Each structure stands twice: as C-alpha cells, then as structure tokens.
Amino acid sequence: MIYIFCAPSGSGKSTMVKHLLTRYPNKFELSISCTTRAPRGQEVDGREYYFISPADFEQRIRKGDFIEYEQVYEGLYYGTLRSEIDRIEHEGRAVIFDVDVKGGINLKRILGERATSIFVCPPSIEELSRRLHARGDTSEEMIEKRLAKATIEMEDAKHFDIQLVNNDLESAFANLDKIVEAHMNA
C-alpha cells in the first residue's frame, strides 16, 4: 500500500506520519526524496533527503528517475524517486510520501488505486495560526506567508481520497488508525 500525505504547513502532517511510524513498527517507511536545498540542522544525506546539486537533479530528470518533481520554493527542487517505491515494497512495508499539495495530486493521478491520498486539514486558519505561533520555530513573516498559502491550499483538499481533520489529536489518530487498519486487514 502507498499513502500520500499532504497538508498546509502546521496542520499536523508530521505528527500524523510520526504516529503511524511509532504505532505500527516496521509496517511503514517514508520515501526519501531528492532536493537541491541544503541540509538543515541535524539532517543527514540519505536519511531526510538525498541532498544533490542542481546539475545532478537535472541529470536525474533527463534519466526519468522521478515519478514527479516540483520547484516547491523559488529555485529549490524536490523530486520523488521511482526507486523508493521498489526499495520500500521490497522490505515488505507500506510507502509513505510526504510531498507538497501539487506533488500529492500528481502522485495520486499517476499511482491511481495503488495509493491512498490523505489531506490533513487544520480545524480552521485561526487554529493553524495558533499552532504555528506555539511551535515557536517560524518567524512572524513566514507565518503570515504560510497562512496565506494555507488558505489557497485548502481549496485542493477535495482532490484527495481522504480529508483528515486534525482537531482533537487523539480523535485524528483514531481516524487514521481506522483507515490503515482497514487496508491491513483487507
């Protein structure tokens, strides 16, 4: 099984993915994307991303290595490697994709029934603002930009198989468990 997770920044996508990885050990694995941005903080090449040069990225585009790729931020490219699906499925685990909303819609279009696409929604833009402020790692200017982007991204929720509202955390976890357990038992 393949799961595609998308959400406006701060909606709780990482929280949901982390929940799956800990609640079901050895059942899921995150696909590692390529990016041309530099590593941040404790990030390690081959763990969070494959950090590659723009020239390398272009060569991989030409070779057809990517299922999809996107200039997510100005001048910074992110791409999903075809080889990740094979690698993770070979280990007998379900694949998790964590990509931007456009990339998620593209992946679902390409993978069809093989994938379940999940859009993690905040209960409201006001609550999203509260969470981004509470997380304390994003500047006021970036928060304003992300809230404006979130309002637009919410329009795309309807293109996803599942809209998972992350209001009360325990209820959101329970709803997610129900979705994946239905697939595991199918």
Residues that bind ligand 5GP (CB under 6 A): 33, 37, 68, 70, 72, 78-80, 98-100, 103
Under the binding rule (CB under 6 A), the answer on residue 106 touching ligand ADP is no
Per-residue binding letters, 135-164, with ligand ADP (x by CB under 6 A): x-----------------------------
Contact 81, 87 (CB under 8 A): no
Contact 93, 26 (CB under 8 A): yes
Q: Which does 103 bind (CB under 5 to 8 A by kind): ligand ADP, ligand 5GP, none?
A: ligand 5GP
Under the binding rule (CB under 6 A), the answer on residue 104 touching ligand ADP is no
C-alpha distances in Å from residue 163, one per residue of 7, 60, 69, 93, 123: 10, 33, 23, 23, 11
Under the binding rule (CB under 6 A), the answer on residue 169 touching ligand ADP is yes
Helix, strand, coil percent content, the chain, rounded in steps of 5 = 50, 25, 25
- Considering beta carbons, is residue 43 or 168 the nearer one to ligand 5GP? 43
Under the binding rule (CB under 6 A), the answer on residue 13 touching ligand ADP is yes
Q: Which does 154 bind (CB under 5 to 8 A by kind): ligand 5GP, ligand ADP, none?
A: none
- Considering beta carbons, is residue 77 or 119 the nearer one to ligand ADP? 119
Distance from chain centroid for Cα 25? 19
Which residue has 């239905």 as its token pair? 182
| Cα 164 from Cα 25, distance rounded (Å) | 22
Taking the complex as a whole, the smallest distance from the CB of residue 14 to ligand ADP amounts, in Å, to: 3
Neighbouring residues of 177: CB distance < 8 A, sequence distance ≥ 6: 23
Under the binding rule (CB under 6 A), the answer on residue 166 touching ligand ADP is yes
Q: Which does 166 bind (CB under 5 to 8 A by kind): ligand 5GP, ligand ADP, none?
A: ligand ADP
